[in-house]
Amino acid sequence: MEEEEEEEEGKVMSDFLPNEVVIEILARLPVKTVARCRRVCKKWCSVISSNSFVTTHINRSLSTSLDNSKSSSLRLFQSIKTKSFSEVITRHYEHISMCSDDESFGNNNNFIKVKSCPLFCGCGISNYSNIVGFCKGVVCRAFDRHFYANSYVLWNPSIDRALGLPQPNIARGIPYYEVRNSHGFGYDPSSNDFKLVRLVYLERHYIDSQPLVEIYTLNSGCWRAIDSPPQSYIVKKNRLSTFVNGASHWLAHTPLEAAAGTTFRNVILAFDMGKEVFHEIEVPSCFVRESHLNMTVGVRDGLLCLVPHNYKQGEKQYISVWIMNHYGNAESWSKLFDIDISQRLQTVVAFRKNGEVLITDKDGELLSYEPNTQQVTHLGFHRSSFDSERWETYYGERAFFMESYSESLVLLNVPNAVSERKEEKVDQHLQNC
């Protein structure tokens, strides 16, 4: 009797609650709080570390953010400063922050710094990090590994865990300058899996061949080859993909040799993460044959969008924004507005919640552009400057990345994920893969 009383006294309140009630309570808590709750008892640790709970927490967080304008305005923001000395020595410094996409955006005091690390290798070779994509709290990053193929990291900044992926199989050991990569990162709800797809072109066959394709899945922990697109499509090297409607999208075209004939076409190449197959989406008919346009694919208000840039001399120079109102229906493309590039505007980075456009100018400065008034707001990311030791600091091409941010527990229960904040630790983990 006494043993039963002692056992009863040793129980905590959650022991008297049904398991489904405990899960419901934990699923409503913020990510960092839930992560700490694993230390309460073995039962909670087991519940929180399960795949089903991580998925439940993601779905609840996403539904909550849709109802909460403050939450849904959070953005993940990356900027990369480049410092060079007499164009001989170059160093890249990466700053990743969380910020609110409101009137305070651009005030650096309002940015919550997530990670800042020099992207520099001692031999004068840049160990450069590109953000490949962001989905459900997970950032996919690619690191150039000196002269050889990229290494990849999945990183969840909200719980400070990173997973170094195994080396890809295709073009392993081939110098990076002989390989062109394009990537797509996203989530497949049917298998509850995160996937990274890699399109590989060998430089000597880039202009006329189909890419070799492989895919990494978080559930399997390995790469495997999959079928290439049904015909030859050329995707520009390191061109960011856009994940929407369960698929990754790239702006692509048929081989350039066909431009003089009737077969050259601009298309949007899409990869369905669930079915793991490629399909084609038509661009607006006025852009199909325009081989000189520099177009990018993006997302605006949850819809697939297209941003053509025309810098051709002797023609009207412009940037325009188009959206596909009904996914997959080429007849539903409509133009929203043109951007006047006479103000030296150059590259669209992202679309803001208030309708403005984040855009860089020809000097690399990040600006906010209001389409209706054509007013430009300076955000404090200044043009190039020299310090007292004659190091030039500037924001180069593709220096900015911005994406809607949502916290999640993904990677919390992945055994090989590491928690060290120092990039050197992640780099060491990569070398051991």
Q: Is the pLDDT of residue 94 over 80?
A: no
More confident residue, 228 or 110: 228
Q: Mean pLDDT for the chain?
A: 77
Q: What percent of the chain has pLDDT over 70?
A: 70
Q: Is 4 helix (H, G, I), strand (E, B) or coil?
A: helix
Task: Enter the tokens of residue 323.
Answer: 């959206």
Q: Is the pLDDT of residue 24 over 80?
A: yes
More confident residue, 84 or 388: 84
Of the candidate ranges 18-22, 164-168, 289-293, 421-425, the one whose mean pLDDT is the lowest: 421-425
pLDDT grade, residue 109 (50/70/90)? low
So what's the pLDDT on residue 128?
A: 53
Beta-carbon-side half-sphere exposure of residue 130 (alpha carbons within 13 Å): 19
So what's the pLDDT on residue 237?
A: 64
Q: What is the average pLDDT across 29-35?
A: 88
pLDDT grade, residue 238 (50/70/90)? low
So what's the pLDDT on residue 306?
A: 95
Q: What is the DSSP string of 369-399?
A: EETTTTEEEEEEE---EE-TT--EEEEEEEE
Which of 138-142, 183-187, 403-407, 429-433 shows the highest mean pLDDT?
A: 183-187
More confident residue, 316 or 267: 267
Strand partners, 321: 337
pTM: 0.83
Q: What is the average pLDDT across 283-294?
A: 85
pLDDT grade, residue 144 (50/70/90)? low
Torsion angle of C-alpha atoms 395, 398, 403, 408, degrees rounded to 10: -90
Q: Which helix (H) or strand (E) holds 89?
A: strand 89-100
What pLDDT, in 10s, does the model give residues 71-83?
456 777 777 666 6
What pLDDT, in 10s, does the model give residues 6-16?
444 445 556 67
Would you say how long the chain is, in residues?
433
Calpha distance 82→91 (Å, rounded)? 6
Q: Which helix (H) or strand (E) holds 309?
A: strand 303-310
Q: Is the pLDDT of residue 394 over 50?
A: yes
Calpha distance 178→74 (Å, rounded)? 39
Q: Are 15 and 142 in contact (CB under 8 A)?
A: no
pLDDT grade, residue 382 (50/70/90)? low
Q: By CB neighbour count within 10 A (0-12 exposed, 13-18 middle, 19+ buried), where does 58 fall?
A: buried
What pLDDT, in 10s, does the model give residues 289-336?
887 778 889 999 999 999 998 766 666 778 999 999 999 999 999 999
DSSP secondary structure code for residue 123 in this structure: T
Q: Is the pLDDT of residue 279 over 70?
A: yes
DSSP secondary structure code for residue 13 in this structure: G
Q: Is the pLDDT of residue 429 over 60?
A: no
Q: Are 110 and 99 in contact (CB under 8 A)?
A: yes
Q: Is the pLDDT of residue 127 over 60?
A: no
Q: Can you say whether the dihedral through the CA atoms of 93, 378, 295, 297 is positive or negative?
A: positive
Q: Is the pLDDT of residue 96 over 50?
A: yes
What pLDDT, in 10s, does the model give residues 163-201?
889 989 988 877 777 788 889 999 999 999 999 999 988
Q: Are 248 and 194 in contact (CB under 8 A)?
A: no
More confident residue, 261 or 158: 158
Q: What is the DSSP string of 321-377?
A: EEEESSTT-GGGEEEEEEE-GGG-EEEEEEE-TTS-EEEEETTS-EEEEETTTTEEE
